[in-house]
Amino acid sequence: MQFGELVKALAAVESTTQRSVMVKLLASLFKKALPEEIDKVIYLILGDLRPPWEGLELGVGEKLCLRALAKATGTSQAELESLYKKTGDIGEAARRSLASSKRPGLLTFGSQKPLEVSEVYDTLLKVARASGEGAQDMKIALLSSLFARSSPEEGKYIARFVVGKLRLGVADMTIIEALADAYGVRKEDLERAYHVYPDLGHLAKLVASGKPLDEVKVTPGVPVLPMLAQRLSSSSEILAKLGGTAICEYKYDGERAQIHISQSGVRIFSRRLEDITHAYPDVVKAVKEAVMAREAILEGEIVAVDPDTGEMLPFQELMHRKRKHEVVAAMEMYPTVLYLFDVIFVDGEDLTNEPLIYRRVKLSEIVQESDKVQIAKWLMLDDPDSVDVFFHEAVSVGTEGLICKSPTSEYEMGARGWNWIKYKRDYKSEMIDTVDLVVVGAFYGRGKRAGLYGAFLLAAYDPSSDMFYTVCKVGSGFTDADLKKMYEILQPLKIPHRHPRVSSKMEADVWFVPQVVIEVIGAEITLSPLHTCCLGAVRPGVGLAVRFPRFTGRYRTDKGPEQATTVAEMLELYKRQKKVAQPE
């Protein structure tokens, strides 16, 4: 196919205001393409030389594109830049400069064979693959040779393409419809294949050469469209919807990761199927050590954790991984844990049609849990109260709630069905004041904190029973000096068992006589079955906890343990919290 033909179709697509017309224009273009070039036509229309999840970049900025144009047209770079400024469209600048150019090179437009789609595509692929020393010059030479041979209108689209500003507004679904129309295949079949293998160039080639779409299989290295969840806000509704029994899993607050293990190594894809492997070298290493399979596709959530305590941190802390030059430092400051919740392919076996409960068993068979790779915490539950208790536990330890799943459901790629239901709160609360809590126990430190305590078990005071009830485990906010000081002041208070005036469901590594009081602030006060403060006061079997607690730096030496925040005050604070709508 001549490139000019593609360009004509693009101009028509650009000028239409109706989606149905857009589909028709594309379908008639596809019909004219040969099977060996249809993929190239499609990639060029979509503005990416390969499916986006391959992460291939052209590496051509506006400056470089203008330099190539200058070389091809003989127009000065300054002139081109002002043309670009004036029109605001690099394509228009290219078109005008090509139209008025005297073409200094050997090749003069109109005096040689017209450009073919394949030539344009193959040259652009070379531009993308040029790397190392001399890559810039190579890119300029390749591009200017293309401009030198293109008509003004062709040059316009090439320029827009290379700087990533094609902006035709053609979505993957539009291409699917046009392909179905052009080749007489069912849209649903194409869609299914796309969920399994989201590479429209590849799929187009198959249908154009008359190959059946059911040949498209789950393939390690090629991301599948993720299964998504619906949402409900009561445990009884959720159980009813799932047929009475659910696999309830913690809903971790991190980045969704689709992990592919194949001959070529480990690759990680995001929720939007971008290749994010480079951001998580630590996860790659941990996966290699923990997963016993030659080939596999696993799903999980990557969560940032406090390096000193291992406690989960909010999702925002993963942002440090997004800047390339910060990854190494971020690995140390914000290490991660991968919580795996599904497996959809293992050593040649496609598990997408197997029930979730089977996939869960398979997951535990192939994963050897470590500090960095764990299986998402889950329970099989069939009564709403137990689901609620588990939900409150999940929130109090720093997750967003639960995802409840049908034990018999298949892995539905790309679908947002009722087999996965998220159970989150509609709002979160904001803790409005600090609290003064008593240190009743401690947990040994790891890493930098080895030899000291890494986290402390804190309690509120109840004057009516003269007891201390636990509300949180805190490890954040302590400087190195604080940790040393805490160790020293707690040493004389060490006892071999829980103090009789302390009520705790948690087992600390070390127990103390309740005496030291410290000031703590948290994100909010939540319900939690893990702590004994106000147990049953709001809900049966559930107490109150401080979520994401941190030490403010204030030792309340002016307060004895009986002057610490009381359980009644904790309840009052819980009730008075500001309720803030949850972002969706």
Ligand X SMILES: Nc1ncnc2c1ncn2[C@@H]1O[C@H](COP(=O)(O)OP(=O)(O)OP(=O)(O)O)[C@@H](O)[C@H]1O
In the annotated binding site, the residues are 249, 256, 271, 301, 341, 416, 422
Q: Of 297, 305, 322, 320, whose CA–CA distance to 252 is shortest?
A: 305
- Residue 275, phi-psi category: left (phi > 0), alpha (psi -120 to 50), beta (remainder): beta
Quote the least distance from Cβ 272 to ligand X, whole Å. Answer: 10
Tokens for 579?
A: 């309720």
Residue from 63, 165, 167, 271 touching ligand X (CB under 6 A): that is 271
Residue from 195, 251, 360, 362 touching ligand X (CB under 6 A): that is 251
Burial 400-431 (b: 16+ CB within 10 A, else e): bbbbbbbbebbbbbeeeeebbbbbbeeebbeb
DSSP strand pairing (543-547 vs 467-474): unpaired
Residue from 115, 344, 376, 421 touching ligand X (CB under 6 A): that is 376
Rg (CA), the chain: 30
Q: Is 40 a catalytic residue?
A: no
Compare residues 219 and 374 and give the one whose CB is closer to ligand X: 374
Quote the least distance from Cβ 252 to ligand X, whole Å. Answer: 4
* Residue 92 host element (H or E): helix 90-100
Site residues (CB under 6 A) for ligand X, limited to 43-102: none
Quote the least distance from Cβ 341 to ligand X, whole Å. Answer: 4
Quote the least distance from Cβ 403 to ligand X, whole Å. Answer: 4
Q: What residue spans of 163-249 are helical by DSSP H?
A: 172-183, 187-196, 200-208, 235-241
Compare residues 202 and 422 and give the one whose CB is closer to ligand X: 422
Chain position whose Cβ is nearest to ligand X? 256
- Residue 442, phi-psi category: left (phi > 0), alpha (psi -120 to 50), beta (remainder): beta
Residue from 1, 125, 228, 510 touching ligand X (CB under 6 A): that is 228
Compare residues 251 and 449 and give the one whose CB is closer to ligand X: 251
How many residues interact with ligand X (rule CB under 6 A)?
12
Quote the least distance from Cβ 582 to ligand X, whole Å. Answer: 9
Q: Does the footprint of ligand X cover residue 256 (CB under 6 A)?
A: yes
Q: Please identify which of the residues 205, 251, 362, 372 carries the catalytic annotation.
A: 251
List, as residue ranges, the binding site for ATP: 249, 256, 271, 301, 341, 416, 422
Q: Does the footprint of ligand X cover residue 357 (CB under 6 A)?
A: no
Within 8 A by CB and 6+ apart from 452, the residues are 445, 483, 484, 486, 487
Quote the least distance from Cβ 319 to ligand X, whole Å. Answer: 16
Q: Does the footprint of ligand X cover residue 173 (CB under 6 A)?
A: no
Residue pair 216/206 in contact (Cβ under 8 Å)? The answer is: yes
Q: Does the footprint of ligand X cover residue 422 (CB under 6 A)?
A: yes
Compare residues 423 and 512 and give the one whose CB is closer to ligand X: 423
- The DSSP bridge partners found for residue 14 are none
Compare residues 124 and 403 and give the one whose CB is closer to ligand X: 403
Q: Does the footprint of ligand X cover residue 341 (CB under 6 A)?
A: yes
Biggest CA–CA distance in the chain, Å, is 99
Residue from 39, 199, 282, 301 touching ligand X (CB under 6 A): that is 301
Q: Does the footprint of ligand X cover residue 252 (CB under 6 A)?
A: yes
Give Cα separations from 304 to 45, 103, 320, 339, 454 (angstroms).
38, 56, 10, 11, 17
DSSP strand pairing (435-444 vs 510-512): antiparallel
Q: Does the footprint of ligand X cover residue 403 (CB under 6 A)?
A: yes
Per CB under 6 A, the segment of 55-63, 183-191, 249-257, 490-498 that binds ligand X is 249-257
Give Cα separations from 470 to 392, 448, 503, 524 (angstroms).
16, 26, 7, 16
Q: Which residues are catalytic?
A: 251
**Interface residues toward ligand X, by CB under 6 A:** 228-229, 249, 251-252, 256, 271, 301, 341, 376, 403, 422
